[in-house]
Amino acid sequence: MNRDEKDWVFVSDAHFTGQEQEGMGMFLQFLESQVEGLGRLVILGDLFEFLFGFNAPARPKDGSIPPSLFPFPEYLPVFEALQRLAHRGIQITYIEGNHDFHLYSFFQDWFKIEVDVYPSGREERLGGRPSFIAHGDLSNPVQWKYRFYRRFVKNPVTYRLIQWIGPRMTRAIAHRMSRESHQRYPATGSQGMPATFRSFAHQKFLEGFDIVILGHSHFPEKVEEEMEGRRCFYINAGDWVMHRSYLRFSPPDHFELHQFTGK
């Protein structure tokens, strides 16, 4: 079976901090359980609560990464699991979310694996159908304050500043901002969000896409819409924080949401 015939798995919004041992352990178990028949793993952003592509320093000759050098030592089990998938020939795509920054060469520099990184949405063909894949944080066109903030934090000048400040201080600032964000916009009770995402998908259908796959909402759902004689689908992979949900695409045209229970 060649890669084009193998399944794709989409995951989103785990928001790992390294402190939630049960959730991270189940995620590692989940990755191992998906290896058979898997051609590509697509991470739809926010796998961690904060992730920035800090430059990799010189390492020992054996290529190992001492935890004292790595800016995210508590994340290492997840990165090492991704490294094992890549070594097994599974292609990994990482679409940056609103907690991911400057990852374009992060995986190559630190782990010597090729990961396709996209700062925003990506156009793809799934089963020969035009598809749009993104994290989903830009789904609401009226959130102009957030869009301004996103442009401010996701630009080369800010990235150079973060590199200069370094991991310790940057992570302290990022965690404080995350706490304030969660207090202001809790994942539970995000009223109206599903409708906003469906509206965004509808607009993408009008642009000619048949499939729209997003994360960010923490609300797994699959919605079918008839559009000018086309069967179009909006699918949100949900999240790992509460639902342990993921999306599996089996070529040529089967999309199904699942929940991982560890069984």
- For the stretch 31-78, pLDDT in tens is 999 999 999 999 999 999 999 999 888 776 776 777 778 999 999 999
Report, as an integer, the average pLDDT of 85-98: 96
pLDDT for 1 beyond 90 = no
Residues sharing a CB contact under 8 Å with residue 240, sequence separation 6 or more, in sequence order: 11, 12, 13, 14, 15, 23, 27, 246
Q: How far apart are CA 72 and CA 167, in angstroms?
A: 8
Q: Classify 222 in phi/psi space as left (phi over 0), alpha (psi -120 to 50) or beta.
A: beta
Mean pLDDT for the chain?
A: 89
Number of neighbouring beta carbons within 10 Å of residue 155: 13
Side chain identity at 246, as an amino acid letter?
Answer: Y
pTM of the model: 0.91
- Tokens representing residue 56 in the block: 């990799």
Residues in the chain: 263
The pLDDT assigned to 189 comes to: 43
Q: Classify 45 in phi/psi space as left (phi over 0), alpha (psi -120 to 50) or beta.
A: left
Using a pLDDT cut of 90, give the percent of the chain over it. 70
pLDDT tens track for 110-138: 999 999 999 989 999 999 999 999 999 99
The pLDDT assigned to 183 comes to: 52
pLDDT for 188 beyond 50 = no
The pLDDT assigned to 39 comes to: 97
The pLDDT assigned to 94 comes to: 98
Report, as an integer, the average pLDDT of 237-259: 96
Domain 3-185+194-259 classified CATH 3.60.21.10? yes
Q: Report whether 116 contacts 93 (CB < 8 A).
A: yes
